[in-house]
């Protein structure tokens, strides 16, 4: 039996080259980077080198990068810290298809008296820009909208959105956790004020992320009690993981062309193969404006959990939505917001590939999955 991993939007394998650069920081380079002596100073230099590598991937200045523990912390720091810095009565504008790391703080803010607006999406998962324009006209706001959706891969028109937010005089944060390393990003050209990224989505370890904060953006610290990260996040730096993130970002820049060509071709091969061999299937989300690695496909009349169970038995790993919502039997909030019919919403599966996937793995899925779908439909009360 093959083992085929196609759940890279949930997490990626750590690149061997990333592991190699991390290892010395568990051994001989063990100093605290905040210490004034030699042991600390030599480690601190590696942190700053990694900061430059992360900044280079998105076109930022190294001083604009704040290291965090993950994408969720970066999102919380941007939203909660941004709202706090802006003062009372500021509105939070977001969308109905955001990751839980944004919707959680948004609903917390609403429960404590803040005004939150969730912009809708159309059937292809694209943001309602007319609704956003109307809400921006209602006064100063903190706007948090994802660059690319973690479940469908749909890419929002961030350049256009950023221009709209800037013209309205509001502050713009984008959750780019799924976009960084898969799409070209240059914050010198796209006027976002804050941008979140996560290491384990681009072949760095879990437990490390970063937040880009444009110079001059008001943001209150999320963790207090230390001078680290120029006073923007207290706590001793996670040096091995920071160094690993820097290496992963450096590698992501090198492999960006492969993500948009070879990985996209593998995704298309998988998608067309399943559409051709499995009746009553459909793609969820924009077929053009989406991440090159992501396919969200609905198999009508059956439950996604059943599909995943049988695929796992065959050595195939995929997902029915965000890893942060696994265990729920309800259709994902993203699929519901797009208005996907009930008979298809419950049978939605996300395949997310990476540069380590092969044509042989894709062909194995195309060969293995159709019989699974046929057997499950024979047992389904909905057919």
Beta bridge partners of 172: 143
CA separation for the pair 372, 355 (Å, rounded): 27
pLDDT of 34 over the 80 cut: no
The domain spanning residue 268 has which CATH number?
3.90.1150.10
28 and 167 part of one domain: yes
264-285: per-residue pLDDT in tens?
999 999 999 999 999 999 999 9
Residue 64 and residue 104 share a domain = yes
Catalytic-residue membership of 324: yes
Q: How confident is the model over 354-369, as a mean pLDDT?
A: 98
CA dist., res. 333 & res. 97, Å (int) = 7
| Residue span of the structural domain in which 292 resides | 4-12+255-379
Residue 379's pLDDT is 84
> Residues 267, 182: one domain?
no
**Which of these three, 251, 282, 307, is where a domain ends?**
251
Q: Quick one: 247 and 263 in the same domain?
A: no
**Domain ends where: 201, 220, 251?**
251
Regarding whether 77 and 159 lie in a shared domain, the answer is: yes
The DSSP code sequence of 84-97 is HHH-TT-EEEEETT
Query: 3-state DSSP call for residue 350?
Result: strand
Q: Give me the number of domains the chain comprises.
A: 2
Same domain, 219 and 269: no
For residue 276, the number of C-alpha atoms closer than 13 Å in the C-beta half-sphere is 9
Query: What CATH number is given to the structural domain containing 191?
Result: 3.40.640.10
User: Are 184 and 56 found together in one domain?
Assistant: yes
CB 293 within 8 A of CB 268: no
CA distances, 380 to each of 32, 58, 83, 268, 324 (Å)? 59, 47, 48, 28, 27
Whether 247 and 265 map to the same domain: the answer is: no
Question: Is there a single domain that holds both residue 156 and residue 236?
Answer: yes
Question: How many Cα atoms occupy the beta-carbon half-sphere of 214 within 13 Å?
Answer: 17
Q: In this predicted model, what pLDDT tens digit does every residue of 168-213 receive, in sequence order?
A: 999 999 999 999 999 999 999 999 999 999 999 999 999 999 999 9
Judged against a pLDDT cut of 70, whether residue 327 lies above it is answered with no
Catalytic one of 70, 295, 324, 354: 324
Residues 117 and 194 reside in one and the same domain: yes
| 196 in the same domain as 146 | yes
What is the pLDDT of the chain when averaged over all its residues?
A: 94
144 in the same domain as 211: yes
User: What distances in angstroms separate CA 367 from CA 2, 166, 351, 380, one per listed residue?
Assistant: 12, 49, 15, 22
What is the model's pLDDT at position 383?
A: 61
Last residue of a domain, one of 251, 283, 300: 251
């Amino acid at each position: 039996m093959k083992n085929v991993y196609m759940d890279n939007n949930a997490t990626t394998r750590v690149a061997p080259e990333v592991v190699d650069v991390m290892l010395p920081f568990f051994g001989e380079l063990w100093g605290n980077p905040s210490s004034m002596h030699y042991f600390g100073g030599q480690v601190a230099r590696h942190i700053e080198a990694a900061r430059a590598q992360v900044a280079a991937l998105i076109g930022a200045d190294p001083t604009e990068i704040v290291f965090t523990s993950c994408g969720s912390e970066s999102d919380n720091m941007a939203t909660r810290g941004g709202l706090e810095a802006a003062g009372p009565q500021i509105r939070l504008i977001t969308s109905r298809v955001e990751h839980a790391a944004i919707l959680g703080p948004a609903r917390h803010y609403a429960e404590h008296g803040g005004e939150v607006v969730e912009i809708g999406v159309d059937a292809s998962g694209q943001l309602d820009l007319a609704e956003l324009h109307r809400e921006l006209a209602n006064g100063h706001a903190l706007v948090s909208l994802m660059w690319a959706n973690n479940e469908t891969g749909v890419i929002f028109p961030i350049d256009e959105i950023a221009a709209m937010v800037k013209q309205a005089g509001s502050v713009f944060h984008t959750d780019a956790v799924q976009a960084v390393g898969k799409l070209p990003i240059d914050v010198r050209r796209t006027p976002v004020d804050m941008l979140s990224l996560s290491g384990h989505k681009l072949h760095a370890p879990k437990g490390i992320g970063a937040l880009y904060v444009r110079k001059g953006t008001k943001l209150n610290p999320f963790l207090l009690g230390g001078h680290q990260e120029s006073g923007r996040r207290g706590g001793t730096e996670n040096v091995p993981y920071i160094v690993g993130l820097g290496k992963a970002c450096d590698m992501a820049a090198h492999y960006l062309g492969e993500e948009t060509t070879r990985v996209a071709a593998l995704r298309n091969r998988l998608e067309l193969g399943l559409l051709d061999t499995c009746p009553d299937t459909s793609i969820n989300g924009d077929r053009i404006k989406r991440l090159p690695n992501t396919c969200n496909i609905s198999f009508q009349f059956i439950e996604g959990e059943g599909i995943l169970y049988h695929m796992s038995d065959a050595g195939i790993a995929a997902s029915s939505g965000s890893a942060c919502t696994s265990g729920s039997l309800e259709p994902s909030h993203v699929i519901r917001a797009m208005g996907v019919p009930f008979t298809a919403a419950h049978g939605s599966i996300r395949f997310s590939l990476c540069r380590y996937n092969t044509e042989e793995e894709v062909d194995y899925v195309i060969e293995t999955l159709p019989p699974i779908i046929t057997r499950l439909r024979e047992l389904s009360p909905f057919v």
